[in-house]
Amino acid sequence: MAVVLPIVLPLITATIGLLVRRRVRVQRAIGVGGALALVPVALWLLFRVLHSGPQTVHMGGWPPGFAIAFTADVLSALLVAVTAVVAACGAVYSMGQIDSRRIAFSYFPLFHILVMGVCGAFLTGDVFNLFVWFEVMLIASFVLLAMGGERLQMAGAIKYVAINLISSAVFLVAVGILYAVCHSLSMAELPARLAIIADSNPSLVVAMAALFAVSFAIKAGLFPVFSWLPASYHTPPAAVAAVFAGLLTKVGVYAFLRMFASVFPPLDPVFAAILVVAGATMLAGVLGAVGQGDVRRILGFHIISQIGYIVLGVGLVGAADPQVRQFAVTAAVFYTIHHILVKTNLYFVAGAIETLAGTGRLTRLGRLAQHAPLLAVLFLIPALSLAGIPPLSGFWAKLATLKAVLAAGYPLLAAAALVAGLLTLVSMMKIWNSAFWQAPPAPARIRGTARLSPKLIGPMVVLAALTVFIGLFPGLLFAWAEQAAVELISAGMPGPLDANMASGTTEGGVM
Amino acid sequence: MFFVFAVAVGVLFAAGVFLMLRPSVIRLVIGLVLMSHGANLLIFVAGGLRRGTPAIVADGALSPPAGYADPIPQALVLTAIVIGFAVVAFAAVLVKRVCRVMGTDELDRMREEVA
C-alpha cells in the first residue's frame, strides 16, 4: 500500500477538488491540505524503502508478469519524497499567488493530477506505464500552462504541446519495438533480456536506446531539443513555472537514469553520444542565458545547463570501471535532488520579484535588497547553491560530478563543467546586481515588503533551509544517493549482485 | 502483409513530419495526429500479424495454442489511442484559442507579435 499511496492521495484530492469546483475557499483548503498530507506519506515510503529494501506492489493481486507493477527503490522513494515537498511548497505558494479565477477553473485539481503523474512516473515498474504517467503529467501541465489564456501563454503553450506530443510519439514507437524484440516491458525483466539481445544483435539495442534517448532528451530539455523550455516556462504564473521547473524536466532525467543506468546494457556508442550531448547541454544552457534580460528567462536557460550536469552522470554509466560507474550515478541522483529544491526556489523568488516590482525585466528592476532584504537573502541561498558555492548543496553536487568525470578520464568535459559553473555564477550575479543591488534606471515602482505575504515567503524559507541543510550535512543524502545507485546498477546486471534486489519485500496490493 | 504495414507506418510518419514543418498550426495538429497513428500502428504490428489463433486457453490445456496472437500490444495500442484522443482534443481546442487570441494561424507571425 505504501507504494501506491503517493499516487492515490493526489487522485483523491483532485477528485474532491473537482466536486467543489466553484467554491474557491474550499478549493484552496483541499488543495493545500492534500499537498501537505502527501509529505508524511512520501516520507513513510522513503523510510520503509530505506529500512526494508525495494517495495513492489502487483495491483489486483495478479501474479508478476500479468499485474500492473509499482516498484519503489531508493531512487523512486527519494524522488517521490522531494516531489511531495515541492508540491506542498508549491500549493502554499499558489494560495498566495494564483487568482481566484484560475482556482475556480480547477487549478488545484490539475495541480494534484500533475503531482500524481510525476509520482506515478517515479514509481511505475513498467515501461509502457511510464509512458502513461508521462501523459497524465503532460495533459495536466498543458492545461496549467495555457490556463488564463493570455497572449504570451498561448504562444508558449503551442510550442510546449507540439514538442511534447512529438516526444510521446517517439516514446511510443520505442516501446512498441522494445516489446516486439523482448516480449516484456517490465523494468525488472528487461535488463536480462536486453543483455542477451545485445550480445547477438547490438545495433538493434543501440537503435532502441537511441529512440528512448531522443524522447527523454526532449522531455528533459537536452542540447539540440531544448528550445521549447525557455519559450514556455516564463509564461505561466510563477507558482506553476516553479513546479514545472522543479519536477517536469526531472521526470525526463529520471527516465534517463532508470533506462540507461539500469535497463539498457552499457553500449559504447549510446553512452558516448550521451556524454557529448550532456557537455553541449551544459554550455548551450549557460550561453543562452547570457543574452537574456528577464529573470525567469535566465532561470529557464539555467535549467537546461544543470540538466547537462545530471545527464553527464548518466553518460558515465558507460565507463569501464564499476566504481566510477557507481560514483557517477550517485552524483547524478544527488544532483537531481539538489536541483529540484534549488530551481523551484529560484522560480518562487522570481515570482516574488514580479509581485513586488510588477515585472521580471532586469532593466526595470533595482534596489530590491533595500526594499526587501529577506527576499534578497532568499535569492542568494539558492542562487549561490546553483552556481556551486560552498557550503551549499550545489557545491557537493558539482564536486561529485567533477570527480566522477575526472575519474572516468574526460578532462575536456570537466573543463566544460567548470566553465558552465563559472558562467552560472556570472548569470546569478547579473540578476543580483540588476534586481537587488544597483539603482533602478527609471523611477521604481517597488511596493515594499508589506506586499509579500507569508504564503510566498514560507515555501521559500523551507526550500532554502533544505538547501543549507544538505550543504552542511551532505553525507546523509549522499549515502541515500549511493544506495540508489547501487540498486540501479545491480538491477541492470544479473548475477551475484542481483540477490540484493530480490531480497526486497513483495506485497500483493488489493486495489 | 508485414511489408504493407511497414510502408503504411512510414507513410504516416512522413506525412506527419511534412505537415508539422508547414507554418500553419492547424496543419501542425493534423501532423501530430498522423504521427501518433503511425506510432499506434507500429505497436499493433509489433505484436505480430496473426489471424485465427486467439490467446484463449482451451479446456484442459495449460497454455494458449502455439503461435497465438499476442494480446498485450493490442491492449497497449487501445490505451495509446485513448490517450491520443484526449491529447488531440486538447490540442484542437488550444489551436482554436490560439488562432482567436493571435488573429493568425501562422507560427512565424505569432512570434513577431509577441516580441
Per residue in A24-36, pLDDT tens? 889 899 999 999 9
Residues of A in contact with B39 (CB under 8 A): 169-170, 172-173, 176
Residues 75 through 134 of chain A touching chain B, CB cutoff 8 Å = 128, 131-132
In which band, very low, low, confident or very high, does the pLDDT at A357 lie, cut at 50, 70 and 90?
A: confident
How far is A141 from chain B, CA to nearest CA, in Å?
12
pLDDT given at position B2 = 83
Instruction: Tell me the average pLDDT across A171-179.
Output: 92
Whether A223 contacts A169, CB under 8 Å: no
A173 touches chain B (CB under 8 A): yes
Does pLDDT of A502 surpass 50? no
In which band, very low, low, confident or very high, does the pLDDT at A252 lie, cut at 50, 70 and 90?
A: very high
Contact yes or no for B42 and A176 at CB 8 A: yes
Nearest CB among B20, B90, B111 relative to A139 is that of: B90
How far is B66 from chain A, CA to nearest CA, in Å?
15
Average pLDDT, chain A: 87
Dihedral sign from CA coordinates of A256, A260, A261, A264: positive
Residues of A in contact with B72 (CB under 8 A): 179
> What is the C-alpha to C-alpha distance for residues A86 and A88, in angstroms, rounded to an integer?
5
In which band, very low, low, confident or very high, does the pLDDT at A462 lie, cut at 50, 70 and 90?
A: very high
B100 touches chain A (CB under 8 A): no
Greatest extent of chain A over all pairs of C-alpha atoms, in Å:
71
pLDDT given at position A511 = 38
Closest-CA residue of chain B to A183: B47
pLDDT given at position A109 = 94
Nearest CB among B46, B87, B98 relative to A176 is that of: B46
Question: Pick from A385, A192, A226, A222: which is nearest to A312 by CA?
Answer: A222
Does pLDDT of A303 surpass 70? yes
> What is the C-alpha to C-alpha distance for residues A95 and A111, in angstroms, rounded to an integer?
12
B8 touches chain A (CB under 8 A): no
Sheet holding A55-58, edge to edge: A69-72, A55-58, A506-507
Closest-CA residue of chain A to B104: A155
In which band, very low, low, confident or very high, does the pLDDT at A440 lie, cut at 50, 70 and 90?
A: confident
Instruction: Tell me the average pLDDT across A350-361.
Output: 85
The grid coordinates listed for A203 are 545495433
Nearest CB among A161, A170, A177 relative to B46 is that of: A177
What three-state secondary structure class fits A453? Answer: coil
Whether A21 contacts A53, CB under 8 Å: no
Q: Where are the beta strands (DSSP E) in A113-157?
A: none
**Residue A264 backbone zone (phi > 0: left; psi -120 to 50: alpha; other: beta):** beta
**Interacting residues of B54 by C-beta distance below 8 A, sequence separation 6+:** B64, B68, B69
pLDDT given at position A509 = 39
Instruction: Tell me the average pLDDT across A448-477.
Output: 86
pLDDT given at position A130 = 94
Residues of B in contact with A132 (CB under 8 A): 79, 83
> What is the C-alpha to C-alpha distance for residues A140 and A126, in angstroms, rounded to an integer?
21
pLDDT given at position B15 = 96
> What is the C-alpha to C-alpha distance for residues A14 and A301, in angstroms, rounded to an integer?
32
Closest-CA residue of chain A to B103: A151
Question: How buried is residue B56: exposed, middle or buried, by Cβ count under 10 Å (0-12/13-18/19+)?
Answer: exposed
A66 touches chain B (CB under 8 A): no
Question: Residue holding cell 499537498?
Answer: A35
**Residue A495 backbone zone (phi > 0: left; psi -120 to 50: alpha; other: beta):** left
Angle made by CA atoms A340, A345, A350, in degrees to the nearest 5:
130
Does pLDDT of A216 surpass 50? yes
Contact yes or no for A172 and B28 at CB 8 A: no
How far is B113 from chain A, CA to nearest CA, in Å?
9
pLDDT given at position A464 = 94
pLDDT given at position A493 = 58
CATH 1.10.287.3510 fits B2-51+71-114, yes or no: yes
> What is the C-alpha to C-alpha distance for residues A485 and A284, in angstroms, rounded to an integer?
28
A184 touches chain B (CB under 8 A): no
| Eight-state DSSP code of residue A439 | P
pLDDT in tens, B82-102: 999 999 999 999 888 888 887
Residue B1: count of CB within 10 angstroms of its CB? 8
Lowest mean pLDDT, pick from A207-221, A357-371, B75-89 = A357-371
Does pLDDT of A500 surpass 70? no
Contact yes or no for A157 and B98 at CB 8 A: yes
The grid coordinates listed for A353 are 520579484
Percent of chain A whose pLDDT exceeds 70:
94
Ranges of residues in chain B with a pLDDT under 70 are 110-115
pLDDT given at position A269 = 85
The complex's ipTM works out to 0.91
Contact yes or no for B20 and A154 at CB 8 A: no
